[in-house]
């Protein structure tokens, strides 16, 4: 059996192209790598390298071996990560989300939460959702996309509904509802990390300017001392910072009626974890604002 460290050396050599750079990246000496490459050829029983004065390159067979080594090293690391993640998941339920509203809901609820529930603060990438669930990095990931694979399923949590907060002296502020088209040409102050909502507002509101703020403190300060409109959702009602903002704000909250302003939210999880995550799903559904 070929040892893993030798496969890793070969994989790094494919990337760097030299023994010196391979040794540097792996934090070992160059003679150590040289001996490792020689041992690999002995283990395989084939010639992997073309050796010339002051230069060593992979043969065609060596290139194939190196590519396979990359796959094996990656698979080995994925196995280690999956086992570590699973071990951690037995002690706590790690919940992530690609959209901020549900995280705000979970963090601001005062009712008792399911035991050992841990909520990540940073939004996750939607494209990595399936991988993060499959490797047990998260017991569940909340998303506006419902996953359905042989091992993953999803459960509907509720609908997040977008609204806009307008200065009371704007003529649109007299309406009970509003559409995206009626908000064109306006300038909005917006939190940067709003997940899929960002793409939606930029697509739906033509000729608008979005003043993105990375920090909530900056967002609150600009909102306090300006008349710029800003967005909120039905989940904002449980956000303590939003409640504080509204208490010192003269803007009028108006629901947006477009279908794209109504986002269905799902809880994605491994089928084998159904019993463990069921209390979390029920907990979120029970506390989901209308």
Residues 164 and 257 grouped into a single domain: yes
Q: What is the pLDDT of residue 179?
A: 97
Residues 150 and 282 grouped into a single domain: yes
Residues 117 and 132 grouped into a single domain: yes
Is 84 contained in some domain? no
Is 25 contained in some domain? yes
Residue 66 backbone dihedrals phi, psi, to 5 degrees: -65, -40
CATH of the domain at 269: 3.40.190.10
**This prediction's pTM:** 0.71
Residues 150 and 277 grouped into a single domain: yes
Is 69 contained in some domain? yes
Residues 172 and 197 grouped into a single domain: yes
DSSP label at residue 228 = -
Residues 150 and 69 grouped into a single domain: no
CA 286/CA 61 separation, integer angstroms: 60
Residues 244 and 109 grouped into a single domain: no
Last residue of a domain, one of 50, 77, 104: 77
CB 245 within 8 A of CB 239: no
Residues, the chain = 290
Is 82 contained in some domain? no
CATH of the domain at 31: 1.10.10.10
Last residue of a domain, one of 49, 77, 105: 77
Structural domain count of the chain: 3
Residues 230 and 194 grouped into a single domain: yes
Last residue of a domain, one of 27, 51, 77: 77
Q: Which domain holds residue 8?
A: 4-77
Is 83 contained in some domain? no
Is 95 contained in some domain? yes
Residues 164 and 256 grouped into a single domain: yes
Residues 46 and 177 grouped into a single domain: no
Residues 254 and 167 grouped into a single domain: yes
CA 261/CA 163 separation, integer angstroms: 8
CA 77/CA 71 separation, integer angstroms: 10
Which residues, 6 or more positions from 273, have their beta carbon under 8 angstroms from its beta carbon?
Answer: 89, 139, 140
Q: What is the pLDDT along the chain (290 residues), one digit of tens a residue?
A: 788 888 899 899 999 988 889 989 889 998 898 898 899 888 889 999 888 888 889 999 999 999 998 998 888 887 877 777 676 666 668 899 999 999 888 887 756 566 677 787 789 998 999 999 998 889 999 999 999 999 999 999 999 999 999 999 999 999 999 999 999 999 999 999 999 999 999 999 999 999 999 998 899 899 988 999 999 999 998 887 787 777 778 899 999 999 999 999 999 999 999 988 998 899 899 999 98
Beta bridge partners of residue 210, listed in sequence order? 188
Is 196 contained in some domain? yes
Residues 172 and 258 grouped into a single domain: yes
């Amino acid at each position: 059996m070929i040892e893993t460290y030798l496969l890793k050396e070969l994989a790094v050599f494919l990337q760097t192209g030299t023994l010196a750079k391979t040794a540097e990246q792996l934090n070992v000496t160059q003679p150590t790598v040289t001996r490792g490459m020689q041992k690999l050829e002995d283990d395989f029983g084939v010639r992997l390298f073309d050796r010339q004065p002051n230069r060593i390159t992979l043969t065609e067979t060596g290139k194939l071996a190196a590519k396979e080594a990359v796959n094996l090293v990656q698979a080995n690391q994925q196995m280690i990560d999956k086992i570590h993640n699973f071990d951690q998941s037995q002690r706590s339920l790690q919940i992530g989300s690609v959209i901020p509203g549900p995280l705000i809901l979970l963090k601001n609820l005062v009712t008792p939460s399911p035991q050992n529930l841990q909520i990540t603060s940073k939004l996750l990438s939607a494209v990595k959702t399936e991988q993060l669930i499959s490797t047990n990095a998260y017991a569940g990931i909340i998303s506006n996309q419902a996953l359905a694979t042989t091992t993953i399923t999803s459960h509907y949590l509720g609908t997040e509904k977008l609204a806009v907060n307008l200065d009371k002296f704007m003529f649109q502020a007299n309406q009970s509802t509003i559409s995206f088209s009626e908000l064109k040409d306006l300038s909005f102050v917006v939190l940067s990390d709003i997940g899929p909502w960002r793409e939606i507002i930029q697509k739906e509101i033509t000729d608008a300017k979005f003043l993105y703020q990375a920090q909530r403190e900056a967002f609150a300060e600009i909102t306090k001392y300006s008349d710029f409109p800003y967005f909120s959702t039905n989940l904002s009602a449980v956000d303590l910072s939003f409640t504080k903002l509204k208490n010192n704000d003269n803007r009028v909250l108006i629901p947006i009626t477009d279908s794209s302003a109504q986002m269905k939210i799902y809880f994605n999880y491994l089928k084998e974890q159904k019993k463990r995550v069921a209390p979390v799903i029920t907990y979120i559904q029970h506390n989901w604002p209308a």
